[in-house]
Amino acid sequence: MQPMLNIAVKAARAAGQVIVRHVGRLEGLTVQNKQPNDFVSEVDHLAEREIIRVIQRAYPDHAILAEESGGQGRSDYEWIIDPLDGTTNFLHDFPQFAVSIALRHQGRLEQAVVYDPVKEELFSASRGGGATLNNRRVRVTTLKDLNGALLGTGIPFREDQDLDAYLKTLRALLPGTAGVRRAGSAALDLAYVAAGRLDGFWEYGLNPWDMAAGLLLVQEAGGLVGTPDGGHDVMARGDVVAAGPKVFKAMLQRLAQAR
């Protein structure tokens, strides 16, 4: 395992231990609203501090972009951290949330870890080295089109998001598929595309920490990622489509019809 990936795994597992200790003990947690229906708990902060502690012990000069504490330092190496992707699920004891850690070097994603501490599933990838789930290689599915495909998505819930525009994309993509799932953690949704559990995924308005690790996982599992209009600036835009090559093409074609 690459040394930097090894540190990401160590940090993700340490954060996972923090999270699991609080599962089922939610009554006494301090919870705040970052904006309406967008929550942050003290577990998010505790897990993030644990991740940063592990990373800085190994690489004190690296920069960090973390969901709760923001940007720290300047370096060609930047760690992109979501300590608890799926906080709303966590606060409702809905067991679909994960730790997401990615490393970007000179603007290019190089290492990725998405860790589900409840199911003890560790998705990881190094650029050029493929993607794994608990050390077993994974690949995206090989469907030729959207017929029978199972898709994942994120439904807009913030006031600044355009629900009507999203519903047009849902109407365009749904026909002929096996259905659409909205599980509440983009990091895990992307990891599931990489592992072949979902055939494709699309969502609008994501932050870098929501998707950085998942994007590399999909690419290293043989999939494609891009913006819904066929662009490549996913991290800057925050709008993403991810799938195996042929399903990806089919999704873009249908999304073009929805615009």
pLDDT at 26: 64
Q: Cα(52)–Cα(63) distance, rounded to whole angstroms? A: 10
Which residues, 6 or more positions from 159, have their beta carbon under 8 angstroms from its beta carbon?
35, 36
Task: Point out the annotated binding site for Mg(2+).
Answer: 67, 82, 84-85, 210
pLDDT at 17 over 60: yes
Paired residues of 41 in beta bridges: 31
Q: What is the pLDDT of residues 141-198, one digit of tens each?
A: 999 999 999 999 999 887 778 899 999 999 999 999 999 999 999 999 999 999 999 9
Q: How confident is the model at residue 30 (pLDDT cuts 50, 70, 90)?
A: low
Answer whether 3-138 and 150-258 agree in fold.
no
pLDDT at 38 over 50: no
Q: Tell me which residue has tokens 């599980």.
A: 183
pLDDT at 37: 39
Question: Residue range 62-73: average pLDDT?
Answer: 88
Which residues, 6 or more positions from 71, have their beta carbon under 8 angstroms from its beta carbon?
63, 64, 65
Q: In the chain, which residue ranges form alpha helices assigned H by DSSP?
A: 3-22, 42-58, 87-91, 163-173, 186-194, 208-220, 234-237, 245-258
pLDDT at 43: 86
Over the chain, what is the mean pLDDT?
A: 92
Q: How confident is the model at residue 22 (pLDDT cuts 50, 70, 90)?
A: confident
Q: Cα(74)–Cα(119) distance, rounded to whole angstroms? A: 35
pLDDT at 27 over 70: no
Task: Point out the annotated binding site.
Answer: 67, 82, 84-85, 210
pLDDT at 160: 75
pLDDT at 62 over 80: yes
pLDDT at 39: 44
Q: What is the pLDDT of residues 210-232, one digit of tens each?
A: 999 999 999 999 999 999 999 99
Handedness of CA 81, 83, 89, 94 (dihedral sign): positive
Name the pairing type of β-strands 150-153 and 179-181: parallel
Fold of 3-138: Fructose-1,6-Bisphosphatase; Chain A, domain 1 (3.30.540)
Residue ranges covered by each domain of the chain? 3-138, 150-258
Fold of 150-258: D-Maltodextrin-Binding Protein; domain 2 (3.40.190)
Mutual angle of helices 163-173 and 245-258, in 10-degree steps: 130
Q: Are 54 and 10 in contact (CB under 8 A)?
A: yes
Is 88 or 194 the better-scoring residue by pLDDT? 194
